[in-house]
Amino acid sequence: MIALNKGASLWLARVAGVCLLVGMVAFVGRRVAADDTPAPWVVPEDAKKVKNPIPPTQETLAAAQDLFTDNCSLCHGEKGIGDGPGAKAIKVKPANFTDAKLMAAETDGALFWKMSEGRGPMPSWKETLTEKERWELVGYIRKLTKDAAK
Ligand code: HEC
């Protein structure tokens, strides 16, 4: 009788311990997930509407490709998949420019605004790159999306 009680209380203690552990893991897990998932990146309405004043040509695309290789591929990857060597080190993952659905939801103006302002690990480029260079990069990002669909 005593042995059974002992067994039962041991069992109870173990169940309680497991519950506590599961609860803690779930709690910590939620915290980590919340940190990893960035809040929506809201672009001002008027910035979204701005049209790309630099129509892509072979020349602008070639210039932008060099800029992209030098400044962006570290995180975004050479093809824009978001798999550059630097991407491993950052919690918020770089956007995947080859995701056609994701990119269709972004206007040229929104891409320009985001690369100009930056957020978190994504640098702000408005001091480093000229407006012309940033618009050329918008054209180049569009090309990366198209190339991936081929
Ligand atoms: C140090 C890493 C890093 C570098 C270098 C970098 N980016 Fe990013 N980029 C990011 C991250 C991370 C995000 C996602 C930020 C977020 O959602 O908060 C991002 C997001 C973006 C977005 C927004 C995409 C979207 O649809 O929301 C654009 C556009 C962009 N980057 C363009 C560029 C361009 C152009 C360059 C080079 C001139 C560049 N990035 C260089 C890390 C980087």
Model pTM score: 0.81
DSSP string across 46-109: HHHH---SS---HHHHHHHHHHHHHHTHHHH-TTSSS--GGGGG-SSPPP-TT-HHHHHTS-HH
| Domains held by the chain: number | 2
Q: Is 134 in the pocket of ligand 1 (CB under 6 A)?
A: no
Between the alpha carbon of residue 66 and those of residues 7, 10, 23, 59, 105, the distances in Å are 71, 67, 50, 11, 26
Same domain, 103 and 33: no
Q: What is the pLDDT of residue 79?
A: 97
Nearest CA to ligand 1 atom 42: 122
User: For residue 59, how far is its CA from the centre of ligand 1 (angstroms)?
Assistant: 23
Same domain, 24 and 95: no
User: For residue 83, how far is its CA from the centre of ligand 1 (angstroms)?
Assistant: 12
Same domain, 19 and 93: no
Nearest CA to ligand 1 atom 24: 95
d(CA 39, CA 25): 23
Q: Under DSSP, is residue 122 helix (H, G, I), strand (E, B) or coil?
A: strand
Q: 43-78: per-residue pLDDT in tens?
A: 999 999 999 999 999 999 999 999 999 999 999 999
Same domain, 13 and 80: no
Report whether pLDDT(32) > 90: no
Instruction: Grade residue 38 by pLDDT with cuts at 50, 70 and 90.
Output: confident
Q: Is 41 in the pocket of ligand 1 (CB under 6 A)?
A: yes
Ligand 1 nearest atom to the CA of residue 119, by list position: 18
Domain of residue 54 covers: 45-149
Ligand 1 nearest atom to the CA of residue 103, by list position: 26
Instruction: Give 58-65's long-range contacts (Cβ < 8 A, gap of 24+).
Output: 60/136, 60/139, 61/136, 61/139, 61/140, 61/143, 63/133, 63/136, 64/133, 64/136, 64/137, 64/139, 64/140, 65/140
User: For residue 117, how far is its CA from the centre of ligand 1 (angstroms)?
Assistant: 10
Same domain, 97 and 56: yes
Mean pLDDT confidence for 77-81 = 97
- For the chain, what is the mean pLDDT? 87
